[in-house]
Every structure is written in structure tokens, then in C-alpha cells.
Amino acid sequence: MLHSHLTTLNAVSLVLSTFKAEGLSSEALLAGSGIRAADLSRADTRITTNQEMRVCANAVALRREIGLELGQRMHVSSYGMLGYALLTSATLGDALRLALRYPALLGTLFELSLAQEDDVVWFCATGYRESPHLAVFNAELCLTSLKVICEDLLGRSLPLVGARFAHPAPDYHAHYAHSFDCPHAFQACDNAFGFDPRWLDEPLPLADAVTHQAMAERCRKQNLEFTGRQSWLDRIRQLLTAQLQAAPGLEGLAEQMNCSPRTLRRHLHDMGCSYQTLLDDLRFERAKRLLNDTEWPIYRIAEHLGFSETASFRHAFVRWSGVSPSQFRA
């Protein structure tokens, strides 16, 4: 994945707090992500989806159904200013349409939409293009959290007429009944849950026109800043991707970005990453693709990624993935 989007720490913080109750240290869950414990205390920290997915992969390795549990705990209050803008909307439909306008602030990995079919409105999640082995986890987390948000906004439960999932039924599918008290379908065309269209016109108990207008304007400005950062990060990743065999270094990259090394370092820090974590991220993605899609010997992959010694590449790959390149390929 060459374009790793920026997102918030919401999901990562939720993973850590969920497992903390079970006595698991944050270090084990953050392993391989490049996220430091100090980053968690900064409200404006932004991380890449690759970093977020590394933490989630660590969580799924411990408990496969964790997506359903995390979704139940992802309340509307997790979304900062956007959450307040949604809560103060006039109706549920107004709130959901506002949320769809700012996917970057939601931090979603899906393309979300509302679609009416006959007498049912479906809240749909499609277009997933991230880690395939986390597709089930992300679908569970996404749909469960969206339903929780709807119920937070309404101040009551939202009766569903159905829920469908693009993946096959997992062996723990009985757990779905807790989040989706309705008929389920698996191996569907998309991920979605459906409800009566009349709920879209339901007035929200915390509606406040003045507060809503102020929060919506702040969301608009935050989204502009967020997407601006994303464009800047995409350009950095594009430059580094083209130079993996001979990485330019921080100073060389700063020159290519027409800024000083100090400015580049500060911007990367503000986005919750560094030159080295971005380079490692891109090398890891390229290494996985070459190991899966080619029969290149390990030493050639190491050279292609700019490692002077094969042993250095092996050590790095173990740090990134927890297994050696040969084990990953096997």
C-alpha cells in the first residue's frame, strides 16, 4: 500500500485500554508499529493506517473476535469535534449525512454511504483496500461502531431489519447477535446494516442549532488541515517509494520537498511519525510484496530495498513482522 492515510489514535487507544483490563502491557500491542507510549498523551497526534493496522493485527492475534468488542466501545464521544457536531444535529439523518461528508475525521477505512432499497435504509461500508488478513476485523469494527454511534445519537436502541457482511461466517458468528439483533447474511455484496427509513427523520435529544453550527464549522476547518497533511504525506511517500534502493536521507528528502530538514522533521513529528518510520513502513510493504509475488532470493530483495547486508534486512524484517523473511514466504 503506497498511500497510507493519516488517522487518529482513537482505535489504538481503544485497543490498549481494552487489553489493559486483562493485564496486557501496551508495549506488546504497540510492537512493530513505531508508536511510542508518549504519543498517546498528545491529542493532536496523527498516525498512518499502517501503524494503526499493526496494533490491530497484534490484537487480533490475541483474540480474533476483538473487532466486535472494540466496535461496541467506539462511542460518538471518541470523535472529538465531529462527535459534538453529530450529537447536536437536528435529526439522525442530518447527523449521518454530516459524518459521510468527513470520512477523514471518522478515520474509516471504508467508503460509507446510505442507500435506500424498497422500505429499508442501508448504512453501507464498501471499498476496503487495506490489509486483506484484517478485512473481517475491520468490517466488524466499522459496522458495530456505526450502530453504536447511531444509538448514542438517538439516546436509545436502533431496531435493525438486517445486517450483511462480505466475509464468510466466522466460527464465532454467534457473537454477532450481541451487536446485531436481527437476521445476518454472510458472503454478501457489501457490509451493511438496515433500518426503517423513518428513523432518519427522528429528532435528536441533544440537538442545538447554535452549538451545531459552531462545531460544524470547526469540523470543516479541521478537515481542511487534515487533508492538507494527507496530501503532504502522500508526496513524501511517493518520493521515498521511488528511492528505496538509495534512500535520500532526511536532508535529501527535505531538499526534494523544498523545505529545511528542521521543518520536515517538525511536520513529521506533528503527524506522529518520523523519516525512519516512514522508510521502514515502505520497505516492509515492498518486502512483503516481493516475498509473495516473486522468487527473488533474500539477498536480492535486501539489495533492492537498500540494505548493504542481507543480515541487516533479516533483522529489520523480524522487527517489522515478528518472523524471518523465509518464514514469511513459507
pLDDT score recorded for residue 109: 87
Alpha-carbon gap, residue 284 to 313, rounded angstroms:
10
Please, are residues 101 and 112 in contact by the beta-carbon 8 Å criterion?
no
Give every CB contact of residue 206 below 8 A, 6+ residues apart in sequence: 87, 88, 155
Query: What residue spans define the domains of the chain?
Result: 1-63, 75-207, 230-329
% of the chain residues with pLDDT over 90: 66
Mean pLDDT taken over the chain = 90
Which residue type is seen at 232? W
Across the range 155-180, mean pLDDT stands at: 97
Domain 230-329, CATH class in plain words: mainly alpha
> Do 61 and 36 form a contact (C-beta atoms < 8 A)?
no
* Sole residue written with cell 487495506: 130
Asked whether the predicted pLDDT for residue 270 surpasses 70, the reply is yes
d(CA 184, CA 44): 38
Q: Which three cell numbers stand for residue 187?
A: 458472503
Cα four-point dihedral sign 21, 25, 31, 34 = positive
Contact present, 7 and 233 (Cβ < 8 Å): no
Give residues with Cβ within 8 angstroms of 268, minimum separation 6. 236, 274, 275, 278
Identify which of 2-16, 19-33, 38-52, 286-300 has the greatest average pLDDT: 286-300
Q: With bands split at pLDDT 50, 70 and 90, how would you rate the model's confidence at 210? A: very high
- For 17-48, write each residue's pLDDT tens digit: 999 988 888 888 998 887 877 778 776 677 77
Q: CA-to-CA distance for 177 and 141, rounded, in angstroms? A: 14
Nine-digit cell string for 65: 473476535
Tell me: the pLDDT tens digits for 121-154? 999 999 998 888 899 999 999 999 999 999 999 9
286: its cell numbers: 515492498
